[in-house]
Amino acid sequence: MKTLEKLKFPKLENEYLENILRQLINQHNIIQLFFTKQPSPLFSNLIIHIDKNSDTEKLQQQKWLKKVRNRYQIDVIFIYSGRLHHRFSLGHPFMECYCRPSALIYQNPTALNPLIITRDWKQYKKKFHVFEERFYHDHDLHKLHVQNLISEDCSNSVFTSYARWIEYDLEYLEELYVVNTFNSLPLDERINNLIAYVPEIQKYFVRSSPDKYVLTDLFIKAKEIAADDDDIYKNEMYQAVRITEQNLFRLIEERFDELKKQIKKGLFDKQQLACQTDEKPAATILDVAVETIVKLVAVEQIYLFHQTTYAEKTTYYLMLIGIGGTNEKLRLITHFLKSKTTDNHEVVMISHSRKWIQENLYQFQSFFSDIIQADRLIYSSSPYHPVLHWQFPHNPYHADLYFYYQPTKDVALQFFNIANNPEQNYQGLDYLFSEFFLSFCRTYIFVKTYYLPNNLTSQALWQLCIYADPDIRKYNYLLEQFWTDCFPYLNKHRLLDHKLSKLNKEKVDQMSIMVKKLMTELDSLVIEGGLLNYEQD
């Protein structure tokens, strides 16, 4: 046998990896090494054909594999001889593509059972089609089984069967990319592992935590409930799971087609990963806004969901999807933008994490589905962010409207009790006025859009009211005639100050007019509109 010093692997162009391979050949019964160089950013493939399965399992856990993968973009795959030859006999396209003689960089001269491929595409294509058809046949069986369960309205069984179907798809993706399956691992971990090979898979699973996914949580819950003979009643999620499975099926088809083309040509064409290139908005304010947001918030995507010009002032409405877009951060961004732009521009922002949106679609889907559109996306940190699992059918409804409307009504009545006090004791009235405005805006927006905003600034809430229904602008004159800058005043008194009130009758009258008119507007919308059915006080 050749000594370690004489072994050379010039095709690798990697001294670090060469040294490791020499040690492996000295310590284990390595039969063959196959190396296929791929253009960046794809992973090159190093297939290590080894004699024993026990060695394969142990070596596949070595820490150096991760280093080689991350630093040098080389994916090292160990496969023991029995598995490799069995896969080859089945016509597995991975073997046919990556273990050809042209990829061989080492062969143990004393090995009894090396893999030698001499057939061309014409000789191999029948086996390829048989291998491919085996996938389609079993895939159709899974599909038929799920369809039958849906028709029988067996919701728990539907989701457990969908789980097995998706596991089947993931198994084929693992086979076609790494020729090893990981059935013993949890579904979440298998998805995470595949991301390195198929980044696009991220688009089809919304995360419920850094390492887990909404759909896999649903599958687990369905199994637990089924064991207790309870019903999960998640029929509206059927289509979301179906869409995910259809995309996995498409990824498998594309991989089959890719391997087929590579085998037929006998060489590897350069492939470019799809990269999203969004046209930058012409307006400079949006460039500045996006740049500022990205610096301060771990944002995944930004959508420009509305834009309006009124009285020579343009207002941009942005929705941020990401982590850390707190109300305080949004205020900081707004303050920075005001210092960078002229008074004839304004940016209104709302922000939520993808997980929060997913978990609240049952109530707010009609609002978010209108915003999250490809033509409204102005920034994305990656082309592989997951698409939300939309609920079908979804019928918007004003859940808990009473709990938003009644406090607004109560604080208005409380305000008038103090405002109409003949002794003109207005202590705490500024707080009640601010609380009323906050409650009114959130309730009004919810009624009009089926969305309940966070505790944003008073100005942002008012602008969202205008987005919900531009007709509300008819009350802008009340804000403009206020004795001071209305929005800073409202923001200041969101918390009760422990000090004597400096309000007088004239100021209270202005507040009263605004409270009365806005409350009348909300009464008309909620009570006369029949959204709540009870007698007014």
| Residue 4: partners with Cβ closer than 8 Å, 6 or more residues away | 22, 23, 25, 26
Question: What DSSP line would sit under 189-245, residue for residue?
Answer: HHHHHHHTT-GGGGGG--EEETTEEHHHHHHHHHHHHHHTT-----GGGHHHHHHHH
Q: Which CATH class is domain 285-380?
A: alpha beta
User: 258-278 pLDDT, tens per residue?
Assistant: 999 989 887 443 333 333 334
The DSSP letter of residue 51 is S
Q: Where are the domains of the chain?
A: 15-107, 121-265, 285-380, 401-527
Q: What is the pLDDT at residue 494? A: 82
Q: How many whole angstroms separate alpha carbon 445 and alpha carbon 435? A: 16
Q: How many whole angstroms separate alpha carbon 374 and alpha carbon 485? A: 38
* CATH architecture for residues 121-265: Up-down Bundle (1.20)
AA identity, residue 376:
R
Q: Strand 298-310 relative to strand 377-380: parallel, antiparallel, unpaired?
A: antiparallel
What SS3 class is residue 351? Answer: strand
Q: What is the pLDDT at residue 534? A: 65
Structure tokens, 86: 């069995």
* Single pTM value for the model: 0.81
In Å, how far are 162, 190, 223, 450 from 143, measured between CA atoms? 9, 21, 19, 35
The H or E element that residue 79 is part of is strand 74-80
User: 366-409 pLDDT, tens per residue?
Assistant: 999 999 999 999 999 999 999 999 999 899 999 899 999 999 99
CATH topology of domain 15-107: GMP Synthetase; Chain A, domain 3 (3.30.300)
Question: What DSSP line would sit under 279-323, residue for residue?
Answer: PPPS-HHHHHHHHHHHHHSEEEEEEEEEEEEETTEEEEEEEEEEE
What SS3 class is residue 379? Answer: strand
Q: How many whole angstroms separate alpha carbon 334 and alpha carbon 189? A: 40
| Residue numbers in the chain where pLDDT is lower than 50 | 1-5, 267-283, 536-537
CATH topology of 15-107 equal to that of 285-380? yes
Q: What is the pLDDT at residue 495? A: 72
The DSSP letter of residue 527 is I
Q: How many whole angstroms separate alpha carbon 234 and alpha carbon 313? A: 45
Share of the chain above pLDDT 70, in %: 92
